[in-house]
Amino acid sequence: MDDLVSLCKRRGFIFQSGEIYGGLQGMYDYGPLGVELKNNLKNAWWSAMIYDNDNIEGLDASILSNPMVLKYSGHEDTFSDPMVDCKTCKSRFREDQIPKSCNKGKCEFTEPRQFNLMFKTNVGPIDDAASFAYLRPETAQQIFTNFKNVVDSSSKTLPFGIAQIGKAFRNEITPRNFIFRVREFEQMELEFFVKPGTDEDWHKIWVEKRLNWWEKQGIPKDSIELYDVPKDELAHYSKGTIDIMYKFPHGVEELEGIANRTDFDLGSHTKNQDELNISANVMLNNNSNTRLAIQDTESKKWVIPYVIEPSAGVDRGVLAIMNEAFNIEDLGDGKERLVLKLKPHLSPIKAAVIPLKKNNEDIVKKSTDLKRNLQKLNLGRVVLENTGNIGKGYRRHDEIGTPLCITIDFESLEDNTATVRDRDTMDQKRIAINELPEYLIKHING
C-alpha cells in the first residue's frame, strides 16, 4: 500500500485534502491524473448501465436530502455504528475495528454506544431544529423518491432500472486504508425494479453481470471472492446480499454489494401503504403524497416492484484497479521499471507525443499537429511530452499508465512516420502518421 500511495502523490493521482494545514482525516483530493482515471471509470460504468441497456435510465439527484426521506428509509434509526472510547490511549474506535496496538487486555474501554453516521447541515438563514437537511449517506434514496417521475416521463415497464453516480457522505468513526474508507466518496448505484417473484433470478443475473464488468476493468476473477451475507448480518431492507470481495493491499474487503431490497424502499416511501400488499416490514407513512407503484400489464393490478441493487464505490474501484495495475518489473542488470498496466480505456492519458528534439521547430510543430489531431478523436487526454529526454519520458508514462508513446524524430520529417512504443511490451515500431488515428482507436477501444 505504501508504494501505491507514494505513486499516487508523486504522479498526481491523489492528494491528502488540506495537506498544507495538516490534512483532514478521511478526505482526499483527486489530482490531474486521478480525476481522469476516476472519470474514465465512471464513464465505463455509465456506458455499461445506460447505453448498453434500453431499459435503464439515468438520474442525477440532489445531495441535500429532505429529513423525511431518511426518516422513512430507516436511516435515522438504523444508520449507525457501535463506537467505543479507549480510556487508556484516549482514542475512539468502531467496536469491530479496534487496532491490534490497542490491546483489550491492557486498555480500558467504554461500553459501546451507537453513533449515527449522517452529516447534518442547516438550510436557510434560520438556525433552528426545524430547518435542517442531511447530506445523503447514499445515492439510492433519491432514486426511490423519483420513481414515479421517471416512470411517468419515460413510460418504462418492468423490469427496468434507474442508475446514478454521485457523492455520498458518512461520518465514519475511523476512516482508514487510504481511499478505501473515507467520509466523502462517490457511489455508482443501480436500482433495478422487477416483478415480485422474479427477484431471485434477477439477483443472480446481476451478480454475474457485475463480475464480468469488473473483469473488463482489469480486476481478474481470481482476485475476487463472493460473500453470501448471512441472515444475521443483512441490512434491515435486504432479503439477500452478495458482496464482491476484492483482495485489497490491506486485506479482503467489499468492492461492491448486490442486494435484493425487496419492496422495502418503495413500500416505505409510498402513500396508501395498506392498499398495496407490501411484503416488507415498513414504517407507517402518512406524509408521502405519491403512490410509488406500477400497474402490472397482465393483471392490471398496482404492485410495488422488488429492487435489485448493485452498489459500488468509485473510490474503492479506483484503489482496486490501481492495485491490480501496479507492477514492478525486473529488466535485468539490476534495473527495474514501475509500470501501471491499466486497461487502455481507463488510462488517464491515452497517448503521449514526444518530440525527439525539444528545440527543433520542425519536429515540435509536427508533434504538436499530431497531438491536436489525436485529441480530436475524443478518446481521452493526449499530451505533448516536450522534455527532450525520451528515456525519462517513457518511464514517466509507464508509471502513469499511458498505453502508447509516439516519438517524432528527424526520420518523421522525411517519410511522415513515427515510432510507436507499447507500454506493456516496450516493443517499438514505425507507423505512418496518417494511420495513427485508426491505430490509437483500435488500441484504446479494443
Q: How confident is the model at residue 96 (pLDDT cuts 50, 70, 90)?
A: confident
Here the cell at position 257 is 454489494
Return the closest-CA partner of residue 302 out of 271, 281, 280: 271
DSSP 38-88: HHHHHHHHHIIIIIS-TTEEEE---SEE-HHHHHHTTHHHH-EEEEEEETT
Q: Is the pLDDT of residue 299 over 90?
A: no
Contact 115, 173 (CB under 8 A): yes
Which pTM was predicted? 0.91
Distances (CA, A) of 46 to 43, 104, 288, 379: 5, 46, 31, 16
- The pLDDT value recorded for residue 103 is 66
Q: How far apart are CA 74 and CA 170, in angstroms?
A: 15
Write the DSSP symbol of residue 301: -
**What is the side-by-side strand order in the sheet with 251-262?**
56-59, 160-169, 184-194, 306-313, 251-262, 240-248, 224-228
Torsion angle, alpha carbons of 129, 130, 131, 134, to 10 = 80
Positive or negative CA dihedral for 279, 284, 288, 290?
positive
Contact 303, 270 (CB under 8 A): no
- The pLDDT value recorded for residue 158 is 94
Return the closest-CA partner of residue 339 out of 389, 379, 394, 390: 394
pLDDT in tens, 25-56: 999 999 999 999 999 999 999 999 999 999 99
Number of other CB atoms surrounding residue 94 within 10 Å: 17
- The pLDDT value recorded for residue 82 is 79
Q: How far apart are CA 186 and CA 391, in angstroms?
A: 37
Place of cell 439510492: 140
What is the rounded average pLDDT of the residues 141-158?
96
Q: Is the pLDDT of residue 188 over 90?
A: yes
What is the rounded average pLDDT of the residues 269-277?
95
Q: How confident is the model at residue 248 (pLDDT cuts 50, 70, 90)?
A: very high
Contact 144, 292 (CB under 8 A): yes
Q: Is the pLDDT of residue 366 over 70?
A: yes
Residues whose CB is less than 8 angstroms from the CB of residue 309 and which lie 6 or more positions away in sequence, other chains included: 140, 189, 190, 191, 192, 257, 258, 259, 260, 261
Domains annotated for the chain, with CATH where assigned, are: 30-65+138-322 (3.30.930.10), 347-445 (3.40.50.800)
Number of other CB atoms surrounding residue 32 within 10 Å: 13
Which residue did the predictor score with more confidence, 225 or 128? 225
Contact 11, 319 (CB under 8 A): no
Return the closest-CA partner of residue 165 out of 54, 27, 79, 45: 45
Here the cell at position 396 is 514517466
Place of cell 502508447: 404
Q: How far apart are CA 350 and CA 347, in angstroms?
A: 6
Q: Is the pLDDT of residue 175 over 90?
A: no
Return the closest-CA partner of residue 55 out of 151, 141, 145: 151
Pairing of strands 404-408, 349-355: parallel
Q: How far apart are CA 91 and CA 286, in angstroms?
A: 43
- The pLDDT value recorded for residue 303 is 94
pLDDT in tens, 374-418: 999 999 999 999 988 999 999 999 999 999 999 999 999 999 999
Q: How far apart are CA 380 and CA 36, in angstroms?
A: 8
Q: How far apart are CA 183 and CA 404, in angstroms?
A: 36
Residues whose CB is less than 8 angstroms from the CB of residue 121 and which lie 6 or more positions away in sequence, other chains included: 64, 132, 133, 134, 135
Of 189-198, 230-239, 369-378, the range with the lowest mean pLDDT is 230-239
Q: Is the pLDDT of residue 251 over 70?
A: yes
- The pLDDT value recorded for residue 56 is 98
Residues whose CB is less than 8 angstroms from the CB of residue 272 and which lie 6 or more positions away in sequence, other chains included: 291
% pLDDT > 70, the chain:
99
Beta bridge partners of 184: 169
Which residue did the predictor score with more confidence, 109 or 274? 274
Contact 211, 53 (CB under 8 A): no
Q: Is the pLDDT of residue 181 over 80?
A: yes
Q: How confident is the model at residue 125 (pLDDT cuts 50, 70, 90)?
A: confident
Which residue did the predictor score with more confidence, 102 or 4? 4
What is the rounded average pLDDT of the residues 189-207?
97
- The pLDDT value recorded for residue 105 is 65
Distances (CA, A) of 204 to 212, 308, 436: 13, 10, 43
Q: Is the pLDDT of residue 18 over 70?
A: yes
